[in-house]
A = this chain, B = another copy of it.
Amino acid sequence: MILVMDKSATEADVKKVVSLIEELGFQPHVSKGSERTIIGVIGDERKIKRDQLSLLPHVENVIPILRPYKLASRDFKPENTIVDVAGVKIGGKEIAVIAGPCSVESEEQIFQTAHAVKAAGAKLLRGGAFKPRTSPYTFQGMEEEGLKLLAKTREMTGLGIVTEVMDAADVDMVKDYADMIQVGARNMQNTKLLKRLAQIKKPILLKRNFSATLSEFLMSAEYLLAGGNNQIVLCERGIRTFVDYTRNTLDLNIIPAVKQLSHLPIIVDPSHGTGRYDFVLPMSRAAIAAGADGLLIEVHPDPAQAFSDGEQSLTPSAFQILMREIKALAGVMGREV
């Protein structure tokens, strides 16, 4: 941690800061510049409350040196984490494709979709039983009945099941049905939910909030890691910007950023990330080319009749084309689908 003193700070002001740093059990390191005096704080800065120092007289700025997350950092664990979801290894050579409808709507709908995505080559099925909708007047999900349909679909197709949990109170129920539990963008900082999920043994798909910085995103992973669950896959799904031709701005730049700073795998959800079915194919290709470890794709047998997210869902035949193109691309990237 670096403290920058303001221009008018006197020797005495600096001394006061230095003594406080020592009292807190850290080692101060003063260096007088041409215009400012700066004071380095040596020790594990994560243990200091910034305010204790920033509110001292004549302290102009406090600059952290270490990143706030530790267990999620590549510094801490240099090799890639590989997460096993029902036999699919995410984070290694394989590109994982998780596909399926936004919501489970009926037995027929989920069976039909599952067969279609399996035929196209997907090994994991997504489907929501609890839906966090913007409007109280729209479909809110089939809840446990939906989870049961997902489990039945797994039995029939062998596909692993990825489904969202929205509340800490539902974790026990959901974990019995799912192979991987999704934390939605709106819950990325639901700390009670994260703490509960840290205690279970299931892999977690952690989606980035619309307005999360990378540091906040990795801090949410840190909650899981600190609590004991290291089976985490990150997922980029679009950020909020001024842009209006997509529902969100899918931010593929985060892929090289995550690869550099963290050991966790990252996949991309171009369906939510763009909100447009006609952008899903090009942005899926782009995600893989940028180095993503997988894709999360919404597929529905009849998007116009979907209970939710029809505008961003692929038909089974469009999904087949996507799988074909992704396979070709994976080859060039030295990976496999």
Contact = CB atoms under 8 A, between A and B. Distances in A.
A133 interface: yes
A189 B256 contact: no
Interface in A1-55: 2, 4, 7, 29, 31-36, 38, 40, 42-44, 46, 49-52, 54-55
Nearest to A74: B7
User: What is the copy number of this chain in the assembly?
Assistant: 4
A240 interface: yes
A256 B279 contact: yes
A210 B185 CA distance: 13
B42 A31 contact: yes
Interface in A132-191: 132-137, 140, 166-169, 186-187, 189-191
A305 B56 CA distance: 11
A130 to B, nearest CB: 8
Contacts of A290: 282-283, 285-286, 289
Interface in A279-311: 279, 282-283, 285-291, 303-307, 309-311
Nearest to A41: B33
Contacts of A56: 304
18 contacts: A2-B65, A7-B75, A34-B42, A46-B137, A63-B63, A68-B135, A132-B190, A136-B219, A136-B227, A166-B191, A240-B242, A241-B249, A242-B242, A249-B253, A255-B282, A256-B279, A283-B290, A328-B332
Interface of A: 2, 4, 7, 29, 31-36, 38, 40, 42-44, 46, 49-52, 54-56, 63, 65-66, 68, 75, 132-137, 140, 166-169, 186-187, 189-192, 194-195, 209-211, 213-214, 216, 219, 222-223, 226-227, 239-246, 249-257, 260, 274, 277-279, 282-283, 285-291, 303-307, 309-311, 328-329, 331-333
